[in-house]
A = this chain, B = another copy of it.
Amino acid sequence: VKLLFIGDVVGRPGRQAVQALVPRLRSELGLDYVVANGENSAGGAGITSKTAAELFAAGVDVITTGDHVWDQKEAAQLLETEPRVLRPLNYPPGVPGRGSCLVRQEGKPPLAVINAQGRTFMPALENPFLLVPPEVERLRQETPIILVDFHAEATSEKIAFGRLLDGRVSAVIGTHTHVPTADEQIFPGGTAYLTDAGFTGPQESVLGREIAPVLRRFLTQCPQRFEVARNRVMLLGALIEVDPATGRAVSIRRIAEPWAVESAP
């Protein structure tokens, strides 16, 4: 089974790259499932039913999110009505939305996706190290093919989380830092791991935003308006091949597909 994970889709350039590239990658790479992090899909901050619909229309099967999930007001309703849009599992009880889902394309083995968030240098959600393992056990009753998007800042927490799940899930892919890491590997227990998938959007930027205002922020510590940038748009992510019988990863490699030198303003 071949899974494509797409790192944080940033704004319209990011969505356009997904729309343009996913159909082609689907056939070229023989993809079975596509999962994308959409926490920045709406203007760079948050997600709306419109931006989610665009990603689904492009062939994305499941959308994960992260700390920016609530940035757009309609997120709560989207999360309650669309089971394929996830928010981190480790929000406290009573919060709208789900942290995992099961999808099933006809003629293919089902895929489970879990979305969780780290806590180092991030808000104090519930403990993902305690909450995710039982969720994995529950989902393994349904399928051995499980992909985890761990949205976190600190490399130590991300690697430790990947090691915790080694042998229990097919892949743990990190998101949130928007910079792709070069540590893709298969852990001894058979879990594919990558600390961060990078982001999908304009790479001539600071994490997808125009460079000048971010620089002014660091130079002045005063608030700035951070517009989504436009140039060198790429789709970044990871391709994971999984043995459908065991759920073990067979291979993982980074994906970095250019889409446009310059996107429309």
Chain A: residues with CB nearer than 8 A to chain B?
70, 76, 91-95, 119-121, 123-127, 129-130, 153-157, 159-161, 163-164, 177-183, 195-196, 198, 206-207, 211, 214-215, 217-223, 254, 256
Does A198 lie within 8 Å of B183, measured CB to CB? yes
Q: Of B130, B155, B183, which is within 8 A of A92 by CB? A: B130
Task: For A212, give the chain B residue with the smallest CB separation.
Answer: B163
Does A127 lie within 8 Å of B124, measured CB to CB? yes
Q: A198-B183, A206-B160 are in contact. Are A70 and B222 (CB under 8 A)?
A: yes
Interchain CA distance A220-B124 in the complex, whole Å: 10
Residues in B neighbouring A119, C-beta threshold 8 A: 124
Main secondary structure of the interface of A (DSSP, over half): loop
Task: For A204, give the chain B residue with the smallest CB separation.
Answer: B188
Interchain CA distance A94-B130 in the complex, whole Å: 11
Interchain CA distance A262-B22 in the complex, whole Å: 41
Q: Of B70, B124, B179, which is within 8 A of A181 by CB? A: B179
Does A179 lie within 8 Å of B155, measured CB to CB? yes
22 A-B pairs with CB atoms under 8 Å apart are A70-B223, A76-B222, A92-B219, A94-B220, A95-B220, A95-B222, A119-B124, A121-B121, A121-B153, A123-B221, A124-B127, A130-B219, A153-B154, A155-B177, A155-B179, A156-B206, A156-B207, A160-B217, A164-B215, A179-B181, A182-B182, A182-B254
Residues in B neighbouring A222, C-beta threshold 8 A: 70, 76, 91, 95
Least distance between A165 CB and chain B CB atoms (Å): 11
Least distance between A80 CB and chain B CB atoms (Å): 13
Does A218 lie within 8 Å of B161, measured CB to CB? yes
